[in-house]
């Protein structure tokens, strides 16, 4: 099971709810949204099959206006953490997405755009 499959599912949820395009990995040059897996330590490299795990993911939102980046990022985090049912497959089951509301906003020097970042914790059984 690849975590990319779970991120693609979450990306689809965001895209459908907010009428946007969410990327897995890097942000695009223009206004964009991306999901990135938080680096896991060496002790999480090998997993026993069929366990409930918590995986860290960073949500990134890039916008020209700081307020737009913050509002959209917060709305996406709230939407995902309040959702009660997620799609499951034979390979994995997504139980919960936690968003603690902590944020980081930085102005990108090269473009003058604002990047909003927040962490999400995914509870996945696979």
Phi, psi torsion values for 40, nearest 5 degrees = -100, 150
**Helix/strand/coil for 20:** coil
All domains of the chain, ordered by start, with CATH? 3-41+49-125 (3.30.2000.30)
**Could you report the average pLDDT of every consecutive run of 10 residues in the chain (126 residues)?**
85 96 92 88 56 92 95 95 88 90 90 95 90
CA distance 23 to 15: 10
Residue 43: predicted pLDDT: 47
Residue 69: predicted pLDDT: 95
Task: Give the global pTM.
Answer: 0.87
CA distance 68 to 80: 18
6 near 97, Cβ under 8 Å? no
Q: Give which of 115, 124, 119, 121 is closest to 52, Cα–Cα.
A: 124
Q: Strand pairing partners for 125?
A: 52, 93
């Amino acid at each position: 099971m690849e975590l990319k499959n779970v991120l693609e599912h979450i990306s689809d949820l965001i895209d459908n709810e907010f009428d946007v395009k969410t990327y897995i990995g890097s942000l695009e040059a223009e206004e964009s949204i991306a999901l990135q897996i938080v680096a896991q330590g060496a002790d999480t490299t090998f997993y026993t099959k069929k366990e409930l795990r918590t995986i860290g993911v960073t949500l990134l939102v890039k916008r020209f206006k700081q307020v737009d980046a913050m509002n959209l990022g917060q709305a996406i985090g709230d939407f995902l953490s309040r959702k009660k049912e997620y799609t499951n497959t034979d390979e994995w089951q997504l139980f919960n997405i936690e968003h603690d509301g902590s944020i980081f906003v930085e102005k990108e020097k090269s473009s003058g755009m604002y990047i909003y970042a927040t962490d999400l914790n995914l509870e996945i059984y696979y």
